[in-house]
Structure 1
Amino acid sequence: MRDPDEQQHLIEQATQWLVLLRSGQAEARDHLAFQAWRRADPRHEQLCQRLENTLGVFQVPRSQGVDGRVVQRALAAPSGRRRFLQRALLGAGVVVGAGLVGNPMSGLHLGADLSTSTGERQTLNLPDGSQLVLNAQSQADVRFDSQQRVLAWRGGEGLLTVVDESRPFLVRIEGSTVSARSARLLVAERAGQCRVCALAGVLEISSQGGDRVQLRKGHAVNFDRVSIASVELLRPGEGAWVDGLLEVRDSPLSEVVDALRPYRRGVLRLDPAVAGLRVSGLFRLDQSELVFEALARTLPIRVSRHGEYWLSIGAV
């Protein structure tokens, strides 16, 4: 993806946080999640600092000559949100969509080597002939040399087919390393929680703390920066997103909602009171509105929409 597209994607993420934090409905957990997002990537922090300097820590002061109600309307309007933020960044000397040249953020690369935006899936060929399928809102950096091949995972989901056993192929993810030679694997990281599935070949997973796990075909494991869970069998339907599908069998509603988040812009709020409801079915990721309509017909939930960019799911 080109740099301007990457910059727009990052601005869109920041906009979603602005909409939520200025909505009056943000809870303590939302503020904690926002802080976690800021810490997750130096670029997030630097962009937020620029926005804070121009928008007043996400609160526009009247001394800047901008009424807060005007800002709220701009953020709520799909056609005006991005232009509003772009003008704010321009006021700070940040040229959005022009390569960030000649401004205080000129050393900031807003995009990963490989990435997808909201609702986008891509199949990419790597320099060594391996193939990577990226799910929506996923990012990775490629670091290949004559000694080894490294894929630095920055978030989201991917299906990786590794070819050529002459050099190790390493996936760096949340402080852990997944080693493969000739293999096919699913990689996922969302909010610091990781999962790796072996579809073919044998994988070696090592953590920062020195733990090691061997993963054979048909098995998967969850882990984070602190620990590696027990190896388990693959779940039915894992990797169905490659074909644009979501297959769940007696899974919590929260899992369905989390799978749909990368396919929707704006705020998607799930009431914890209904997050544990069990769901089974086969859904199309690209038709999330139809999915929510189907869920509302079969589960004791209410789906409420507040404008184009806010959807809430709660109890009836």
Structure 2
Amino acid sequence: MRVMPPPNEQALNAAVDWLVHREASEPSAADREAFQHWLDQDASHRGAWERVNSALAAPLQTIRTLQPRTEGQPVNAALQTLFKTRRRRVLRGALGVAGVTAASAFVAHRWTPLGQVMADLRTGTGERRAFTLADGTTVLLDARSSVNVRYVADVPSLQHKAGALIATRAFTGPAPLSIHTRHGQAQMDAGRLMSRVHADRTDLVALEGLLHFQPLGLAQSRLRTGEGASFSGGTLERLQGNVVGRAAWQQGMLAVDDWPLGDVVNAIQAYYPGFIRVAPSVSGLRVFGIFQLDVQLLLETLAQTLPVQIRRLGPLVSIDAKPPR
């Protein structure tokens, strides 16, 4: 029997980081190759990986079943607390069941979602933040958003991973600014655009100037100022209604024009550190209005204007149909 050397603290830290990365998003071919290279690099690495997996496998599986993946990630709050707590226990060698349970991890949270830990640009819960890139392009991120930045001949290419961004380019550079999501890509010479990544689609709005975009598997299309589109692999729909209003979050507002309640909750979830559940029976209710991005106030308004009841259990909020009198 081959005996592996005991993993050192550096190897254990690296193993936890690899697990965070693999849980945060679907690993690419390059990610898988780099991980395999790390495993094969030293026997202590494989020992560290097996120890970390053994310590976290059961609670991770429990957390994954608590909620379907949203925005391409598991229940962020639970995973964040789990990794934070269990990292300390792994490094101390305390790998037993004792410690934070999956249930307590679910109701706890940190302010930066798991999938954004290694992003170049990122925001936490309730945070909006502006960044200026090396070429002068500005990128405003909505809450719980993340972007990786790559440069090709000094021109930035934005890998938009989660949440929403508004990119502003006040000049025409040597090449267009490009934005890539898992559903397609867009290019802009100069102007302003908004991109929002959902679990099943990307929404794109031309706030100023001409925008070219290409969904995966489809031909290139374009948007003029004030136009928007929603696309995923092989599908494309033009956004209707107040399209520019979808960028109202930059002023701390939420402009809702005949949205289903489920979409409204998805929009405010990034501003709430707990978890908001919407019952399927009411998720399709239509909502109109302009609201401040104050989650407590917005929930109260929804309860007053829709046939729903809102129940709270600590950081958990449940929106259900109002019972008949």
For normalisation by structure 2, the TM-score amounts to 0.67
> What is the Cα deviation at residue 279 of structure 1?
1.7
**Relative to 1, partners in 2 of residues 1:212 and 1:315: Cα closer, same or farther, differing over 3 Å?**
same
Structure 2 partner of 1:199: 207
Distance 2:52 2:289 in 1: 42
Say if 2:298 is the partner of 1:300: no
Structure 1, gaps ≥5 residues long: 1-9, 15-36, 61-77, 95-107
Structure 1 partner of 2:6: none
Instruction: Encode CA deviations 1:124-183: one digit per residue, 9 max, x unaligned.
Output: 111111111100000001112326321111111011112332222111111512011112
Instruction: Encode CA deviations 1:179-235: one digit per residue, 9 max, x unaligned.
Output: 111121111102131011001111111233252111111111101133222465652
Structure 2 partner of 1:116: 123
> What is the Cα deviation at residue 89 of structure 1?
1.5
| Aligned with residue 40 of structure 1, among 14, 19, 25 | 25
> What is the Cα deviation at residue 92 of structure 1?
3.0
For normalisation by structure 1, the TM-score amounts to 0.69
1:149 and 1:167 in contact (8 A); partners too = no
| Aligned with residue 314 of structure 1, among 311, 314, 320 | 320
Amino acid at match of 2:301: A
Distance 2:178 2:127 in 1: 25
Structure 1 partner of 2:54: 53
Which stretch has the larger CA shift, 181-190 or 271-280? 271-280
Instruction: Encode CA deviations 1:251-302: one digit per residue, 9 max, x unaligned.
Output: 22122111111011222100111112222222111x2111111111121101
**Relative to 1, partners in 2 of residues 1:109 and 1:133: Cα closer, same or farther, differing over 3 Å?**
closer
Larger radius of gyration, structure 1 or 2?
2
Amino acid at match of 2:58: V
Amino acid at match of 1:235: V
Structure 2 partner of 1:219: 227
Structure 2, gaps ≥5 residues long: 1-15, 36-48, 62-76, 93-114
Of all paired residues, the percent bearing the same amino acid is 29
Aligned residues: 250
| Aligned with residue 129 of structure 1, among 127, 131, 136 | 136
1:182 and 1:201 in contact (8 A); partners too = yes
2:271 and 2:295 in contact (8 A); partners too = yes
> What is the Cα deviation at residue 51 of structure 1?
6.7
Distance 1:82 1:217 in 2: 39
Structure 1 partner of 2:10: none
Over the aligned positions, Cα root-mean-square deviation in angstroms equals 3.5
Q: SS of 1:119's equivalent?
A: coil
